[in-house]
Amino acid sequence: MSDIILQFNEKNFEYDVYHLIQAFYPGTNIKTIYETDDREIPQGTEEMKFSVRYGREDILFCVEKIRNAHTEVLFRKSCRLNAPDDRISTKNQLKRLVYSGLTELTGKKLPWGNLTGIRPVKILRSKLDEGYAPDEAAAYMQETYNVGDEKTALALEVAVREKKLLDEIRPQEGYSLYVDIPFCPSICLYCSFGSHLISRWNDYVPRYLESLFRELDMIAEAMKGTRLDTVYIGGGTPTSISAQHLNSLLDHIGSKFPLGELKEFTVEAGRPDTVTEEHLRVLRDHPVSRISINPQTMNQKTLDIIGRRHTVEETAERFHLARKLGFDNINMDIIVGLPGEGRDEILHTLEEIRSLDPDSLTVHSLALKRATRLALFKDRYKDISFDNSAEIMRCTDDAARKMRMHPYYLYRQKNIAGNFENVGYAREGKDGIYNILIMEEKQTIMAAGCGGSTKFVTNGGANIDRVENVKDLKNYIERTDEMIERKRIGIDKFLS
């Protein structure tokens, strides 16, 4: 369709309206303007204009089709504000109004209704914490956000499970540690993380670890006396570095942090082409309780397209090796919506994973972020389909449950394929605790390393302060003292 003009009479809730329209019209260019902006429509062009006008006690949403000087009104509706001075109430009314208009225009309903945030489960969790019964929390979700029965049931199942786990953990009494290893053997087509090719940056690994150890030392000392609940080493691909360097890192963490009450220690061995027996033995020699071996797909053609330089056979071999060495909590990630994959390809991947029998499965819906090579060079892939559907998501859910897994965490992203979600499934006792803590923002996460984002959580999640590390590897090494001091100030404030 033609480009979309999104016009407001004041600056308010632009983000929410923009992303709702984008969800109904994926791939369409949307330009946000204000009534004070001067503009002319070139002769011979056509555009769609979506207008939001705020009054003191009401909101108007109008959709017009404009060609040259001729305007055709396609939708026009207003609503009276229930509580004009309540910002949250106003936002929710606006989103319901816009959603109703877009549904009427397109004949489509979105799987998550008018939700534009990434944490739908958090909404239900807050209601359960307030004393709502599960069915009351579900009704609130549907009435407020137009979420359908299927997604409401999924989110509620996750919320109830998370509440039980978090009540047992008492996250506000402890903290978690995230350690970033920003190296990868290649950069995947869809990746937006700040990864550095190990072939190009290998000489920097010792210097990086030296800087990382200094930051870890400060965290360990400053947080002494506070219970450490989980450790998560991610990236990047931590197993991109040598087994010797990985051993040094794990030794250092073990010597500086109290691991006696640790509930979970995860290391992402995400790329099968980086996982050697030596790496796995190093992990077994330390209190690592959970690893990820991530295929993303079990279709070789897709692996080649997306830049995963390993084979389907290598994924299976590394998985069986890890089992042989005694790993009893192995996660596998897959991505739905990869280029050229449809229902048949997804079913093949799920069947291959079922035969491996992992302990947990994380299903990601592809998110087309602007920083990815997929977005930067999208013209190269314009003839390749990016397929996701309610049917495909049901297939992943059905496959996980047949593997005796339940959904335990869920989140969404901007520009996610089909406007769906990412879901973590696990067998009983194998839930990824760190994943729940980071997503539900119920615990302070101390993040060390390049691109690490520390979250200081207080008042049960009501207040969150962030301290960000720089993403560039050289910058991190050169500015380690600055990163340490920034975090030290944040810790002092958090503990005071």
Q: Which whole number is the average pLDDT over 302-325?
A: 93
Residue-wise pLDDT tens digits, 269-290: 988 999 999 999 999 999 999 9
Helix (H) / strand (E) element for 232: namely strand 227-235
Task: Tell me the two tokens of residue 108.
Answer: 């489509």
Alpha-carbon distance of 275 to 341, in angstroms, equals 26
As a whole number of angstroms, the longest Cα–Cα distance in the chain is: 73
Per-residue pLDDT at 431: 97
Give the C-alpha separation, 438 to 441, whole Å.
Answer: 5
In degrees and rounded to multiples of 5, residue 107 shows phi and psi of 75, 10
**483 falls in which pLDDT band (50, 70, 90)?**
very high
Answer yes or no: do 211 and 193 share one domain: yes
DSSP 9-75: SSSSSHHHHHHHHHHHSTT--EEEEETT----PPTT-EEEEEEEEE-SSEEEEEEEEEETTEEEEEE
Residue 266 and residue 134 share a domain: no
Query: Do 124 and 100 have their domain in common?
Result: no
Range of the domain at 274: 170-495
Single out the residue in 148, 163, 178 at which a domain terminates.
Answer: 163
Q: Which positions ≥6 away from 439 have C-beta within 8 Å?
A: 119, 121, 122, 409, 410, 411
Asked whether the beta carbons of 109 and 127 are under 8 A apart, the reply is no
Render pLDDT for 194-218 as a digit per residue (tens, 0 to 9). 678 898 999 999 999 999 999 999 9
pTM greater than the 0.85 cutoff: yes
In tens, the pLDDT along 176-198 reads 999 999 998 877 666 666 678 89
pLDDT of residue 191: 64
What sign does the dihedral 342-347-352-354 (CA atoms) show?
Answer: positive
Q: Mind giving me the DSSP string for 362-421?
A: EEEEPB--TTSHHHHTGGGGTTS-B---HHHHHHHHHHHHHTT-EEEEEE--TTBGGG--
pLDDT at residue number 414: 76
**361 plus 253 within the same structural domain:** yes
Residue 131 reports pLDDT greater than 60: yes
pLDDT over 70 (residue 385): no
177 and 154, same domain (yes or no): no
Least confident range from 5-9, 64-68, 426-430: namely 64-68
Q: What is the arithmetic mean of pLDDT over 438-444? A: 92
3-state secondary structure of 177: strand
**Section 38-56 average pLDDT:** 82
pLDDT band at 379 (very low <50, low <70, confident <90, very high): low
- Beta partners for residue 228, in sequence order: 175
46-70 mean pLDDT: 91
CA dihedral 367, 373, 377, 383 (to 10 degrees): -50
50 and 154 inside one domain: no
In this structure, the answer to whether residues 135 and 199 fall within a common structural domain is no
Looking at residue 389, what is its pLDDT? 83
**pLDDT at residue 381 in the model:** 45
Q: What is the mean pLDDT of the chain?
A: 91
Number of domains making up the chain: 3
Q: Domain of 28: which CATH number?
A: 3.30.160
Do 206 and 253 share a structural domain?
Answer: yes
Same domain, yes or no: 220 and 157: no
Per-residue pLDDT averaged across 290-298, rounded?
Answer: 95
Are 361 and 434 members of one domain?
yes
Q: Do both 100 and 115 map to the same domain?
A: no
Domain co-membership, 231 together with 363: yes
Identify the pLDDT of residue 384: 45
Give the domain CATH number at 277: 3.80.30.20
* Cis amide linkage into residue 260, ω under 30° from 0: no
pLDDT above 60 (res 382): no
